[in-house]
Amino acid sequence: MTKFYTIKEIAKLAEVSTGTVDRVLHKRGKVSPDKADRVEAILKKIDYKPNQLARSLKLNKRYRFVILLPDDELDEYWKPCFAGVEELKSNFEANGMLVDVLKYSPHSPDNFVEMAQKSMDLSPDAVLLGALFLKESREYLQKLEGKGIPFNLINTEVEGVNFSTFVGQNLVQSGRTAAHLFDTILPQVKSVLVLHMEEEFENAIHMQQKEIGFQAYFSERNRTTNIQTLNIKTSNPESIADQINRGISDKVDGIFVTTSKAFLLGENGIDLGVPVIGYDLLEKNIHYLKSGKIKFLIYQNPRLQAFQGLSLLSEQVMKKTQNPMEVFLPIEIISSENVSSYRS
Amino acid sequence: MTKFYTIKEIAKLAEVSTGTVDRVLHKRGKVSPDKADRVEAILKKIDYKPNQLARSLKLNKRYRFVILLPDDELDEYWKPCFAGVEELKSNFEANGMLVDVLKYSPHSPDNFVEMAQKSMDLSPDAVLLGALFLKESREYLQKLEGKGIPFNLINTEVEGVNFSTFVGQNLVQSGRTAAHLFDTILPQVKSVLVLHMEEEFENAIHMQQKEIGFQAYFSERNRTTNIQTLNIKTSNPESIADQINRGISDKVDGIFVTTSKAFLLGENGIDLGVPVIGYDLLEKNIHYLKSGKIKFLIYQNPRLQAFQGLSLLSEQVMKKTQNPMEVFLPIEIISSENVSSYRS
DNA sequence: TTGTAGGCGTTATCAT
DNA sequence: ATGATAACGCCTACAA
């Protein structure tokens, strides 16, 4: 039955005024040693904890958080992120914080720069960023850093910026996970095809890291597994089927698609009759997962990324503990049977 | 640049007093129609949201949440739950709420009753319960219900109580997921062994639901899969190996352990050379997962259960929205390669 | 029906 | 160096 002491009560106990107690609490000085001691003693004894409500009410500082993410209308992948943000938003606002959500076109660096500027205009206390364009993002983040505005990155790390916190997946490890899945579902893994399928290869680093993990899994086991790698540019006028047929030299036992574009195989009628493992719970991917064309999807849980990213950010801002770190989220394995338990 | 209006400002805008605004806000009546309209109009226009800080400060109600869970020292499974609670606790306390964590022995209904009583003595505003003993839990919950104290159940549902919210897994679906995994990793599934291994069978309903899903998966596909079921009481003096050998009549292609006790197979040197699928990230399970004796574990994410359960509970209490519901968490598939990404 | 004033616990200014 | 006091925004008892 914890009793909550107030400053007034402490003042009475110590036979001083509330002002003096306050000065002791905040180490503002200007208080005689004997009174200071009296107050300190009481504080220690009762383990005083200030009433945060009254505190924030008085200070009346409204922290403003700006969320800057790619438009989910233009890239479905980001939709759950906004869900995660919304989930926290009302809670934040109930505690007197402001949350502004900004979207930029995933196809236009210019638009990103524009929205980044807009975010600066809001003079935020903290920023949550889902970066796509590395150069432009870096410039933006350095500007934030210059102003001492803390930020968190989700989904994609940006090299060359300090004091950032990252929330996302360990991509190398997710590549290993895919490799192990093939190793488990196939009687023998003689030859696998790694498919990097993307509109543009700006974000190639993602795919590379996944491939590194994938390769490492087999090489650590001294397997003679033949791993063919193929870059498919989906914006290429040559049909995807042609690109693949031209590209593969060998019969393959499985296909590892390192992007969220695994559904393109099914959509283009490409069926080598071997298991496919891909990424992300896009509608179309889920469709082919259920029909069996895709065996497993690895889920990067964008919703959780946003949720965690924002939670962490608020902690950093409130406690002024600028402790940069990396938070790696679970690598979630999705099959046709557990997919329903993952709400987007 | 959202502007935050105060009651005072609204009063000025509507040319009434703050008292009148308050009466409109809380629908206390005793306000003339024309003034009411003026105020309502403004409220709607500016989308007024009361400052929760000031509100709770004035009301000075400290909501007390009691968490009642099995002792994690005695059952490792619950450890992550406490982690989930701790994660939220400081946040809650910063907002003027109280969180009391109570533990009971998972082996003693009497101790549960005792701790349940203790929880009542704290006169909580809401309770988060991880139930084990159904009869005793039901009695406790009915007592809470009688007092109008809202509660949430995590992990285990308790039949016969109303207005509860449940956060946990869809066990039937998790059984289906296990079935599908076997179907994916085995060239053909002729015969599987379903192993219910537990100290006591008080919580048998868990295992049954998992088995139902498991069976359904195969029967829906008109498979002739032979599914043998075996109840192994680990507290039985007869060795587990003996119980199994005596129990199985057929060669099996896989073993589905419906409890968190899959590690007992490895620990007792039982290796039929077929894939094993079990539940929960206990240390020992992880050990055998990494060594390959266990192929997959299904994770019930106790940490998330507690976290979600407590979050929901606070929402219900704060908003007085008693909306009972079931929240089903993801059925997480864990392999030796993605296990490291799941922090306990 | 309407308005006023006091106070929740903390902070910070202003006299003393 | 110290203490009194006025806010922060909301609620409510009481006065008008």
- Would residue B131 count as lying in a domain? yes
Length of chain A: 344
Q: In what order do the strands lie in the sheet with A98-104?
A: A98-104, A64-70, A126-130, A151-154, A165-168, A326-328
B54 touches strand C (CB under 7 A): yes
**What is the CB neighbour count within 10 angstroms for residue B245?**
10
Q: Which of residues 180 to 239 on A have a Cβ less than 7 angstroms from any strand C atom?
A: none
To the nearest 10 degrees (0 to 180), the angle between helices B33-46 and B7-14 is 130
Q: How far is the C-alpha of A142 from the C-alpha of A129, rounded, in Å? A: 13
β-pairing, B332-334 vs B296-299, is antiparallel
Write out which nucleotides of chain C lie closer than 7 A to a protein Cβ: 1-5, 7-14
pLDDT at A321 (0 to 100): 63
Whether B187 and B104 map to the same domain: the answer is no
Nearest to A173 by CA among A306, A309, A329: A329
Count the domains in chain A.
3
Cβ B335–A177 below 8 Å, yes or no? yes
Q: Which helix (H) or strand (E) holds B118?
A: helix B109-121
Residue B43: CATH number of its domain: 1.10.260.40
Nearest to B336 among A180, A334, A342 (CB): A180
**What is the CB neighbour count within 10 angstroms for residue B286?**
20
Nearest to B181 by CA among B277, B263, B281: B277
Whether B295 and B176 map to the same domain: the answer is yes
Distance (Å) of CA B107 to CA A272, B66, B73, B111, B139: 54, 21, 12, 8, 18
- Would residue B340 count as lying in a domain? no
Asked whether B247 and B268 are in contact (CB, 8 A), the reply is: no
- Would residue A335 count as lying in a domain? no
Q: How far is the C-alpha of A310 from the C-alpha of A113, rounded, in Å? A: 22
Question: Which domain-ending residue is among A15, A43, A58?
Answer: A58
- Would residue B338 count as lying in a domain? no
- Would residue B256 count as lying in a domain? yes
Whether A138 and A216 map to the same domain: the answer is no
Interface contacts A/B by beta carbons within 8 Å:
107
Question: Which residues does B42 contact at the CB level (< 8 Å), separation at least 6?
Answer: B10, B13, B14, B48
Whether B86 and B20 map to the same domain: the answer is no
pLDDT at B62 (0 to 100): 78
Length of chain B: 344
Whether A287 and A316 map to the same domain: the answer is no
Provide, in whole angstroms, the distance separating residue A23's CA from nucleotide D5's C1'.
16
Whether A99 and A183 map to the same domain: the answer is no
Cβ B338–A329 below 8 Å, yes or no? no
Provide, in whole angstroms, the distance separating residue A64's CA from nucleotide D15's C1'.
42
Domain extent at residue B120: 64-168+302-329
Whether B211 and B200 map to the same domain: the answer is yes
pTM summary value = 0.88
First to last CA, chain B: 41
pLDDT at A2 (0 to 100): 61
Question: Which 88-147 residues of chain A touch chain B by CB within 8 A?
Answer: 93-96, 98, 122
Q: How far is the C-alpha of A84 from the C-alpha of A300, rounded, in Å? A: 13
pLDDT tens by residue, B12-41: 999 999 999 999 998 888 889 999 999 999
Whether A54 and A79 map to the same domain: the answer is no
Whether A80 and A175 map to the same domain: the answer is no
pLDDT at A205 (0 to 100): 82
Asked whether B325 and B167 are in contact (CB, 8 A), the reply is: no
Q: How far is the C-alpha of B76 from the C-alpha of B162, rounded, in Å? A: 30
Question: Which 238-277 residues of chain A touch chain B by CB within 8 A?
Answer: none
Q: How far is the C-alpha of A104 from the C-alpha of A109, rounded, in Å? A: 9
Cβ burial, residue B239 (10 Å; 0-12/13-18/19+):
exposed
Whether B292 and B188 map to the same domain: the answer is yes
Nearest to B68 by CA among B142, B124, B107: B124
Residue A87: CATH number of its domain: 3.40.50.2300
Amino acid letter, A41: A
- Would residue A308 count as lying in a domain? yes
Q: How far is the C-alpha of A121 from the C-alpha of B180, rounded, in Å? A: 52
Cβ burial, residue A319 (10 Å; 0-12/13-18/19+):
exposed
Tokens representing residue B84 in the block: 């989930």
Whether B163 and B235 map to the same domain: the answer is no
pLDDT tens by residue, B310-340: 988 888 887 666 666 889 999 999 999 999 9
Amino acid letter, A320: K
Q: How far is the C-alpha of A287 from the C-alpha of B265, rounded, in Å? A: 37
Whether A73 and A185 map to the same domain: the answer is no
**Phi/psi of residue B228, each to 5°?**
-95, 140
- Would residue A284 count as lying in a domain? yes
Asked whether A257 and A269 are in contact (CB, 8 A), the reply is: no
Q: Indicate which of A7, A341, A343 best probes the interface with B, i.e. most B CBs within 10 Å of its own CB.
A: A341
B24 touches strand C (CB under 7 A): no
To the nearest 10 degrees (0 to 180), the angle between helices A134-147 and A109-121 is 10
Question: Which 277-296 residues of chain B touch chain A by CB within 8 A?
Answer: 295
Query: How many distinct helices (H) and strands (E) make up chain B?
Result: 13, 12
Instruction: Return per-residue pLDDT of chain A as tens, 344 residues.
Output: 567 889 999 999 999 999 999 999 999 888 899 999 999 999 998 888 888 788 888 887 778 899 999 999 998 899 999 998 988 887 787 777 888 999 999 989 999 999 999 999 988 989 999 999 989 999 999 999 999 888 999 998 888 887 778 999 999 999 999 999 999 999 999 999 999 998 877 667 889 999 999 999 999 998 889 999 999 988 887 888 899 888 887 789 999 999 999 999 999 999 999 999 999 999 999 999 999 999 999 999 999 999 999 988 888 887 666 666 889 999 999 999 999 999 75
Query: Which regions of chain B are under pLDDT 70?
Result: 1-2, 202-203, 319-324, 344
Amino acid letter, B41: A
Cβ neighbours of A89 in B, within 8 Å = none
Nearest to B297 by CA among B319, B275, B281: B281
Tokens representing residue B329 in the block: 């968490």
Provide, in whole angstroms, the distance separating residue A40's CA from nucleotide D2's C1'.
17
| Strand blocks (E) in chain B | 64-70, 98-104, 126-130, 151-154, 165-168, 191-198, 226-233, 254-257, 276-279, 296-299, 326-328, 332-334
Nearest to B338 among A333, A341, A342 (CB): A333
Asked if A321 has any chain B CB less than 8 Å from its own CB, the reply is no
- Would residue A344 count as lying in a domain? no
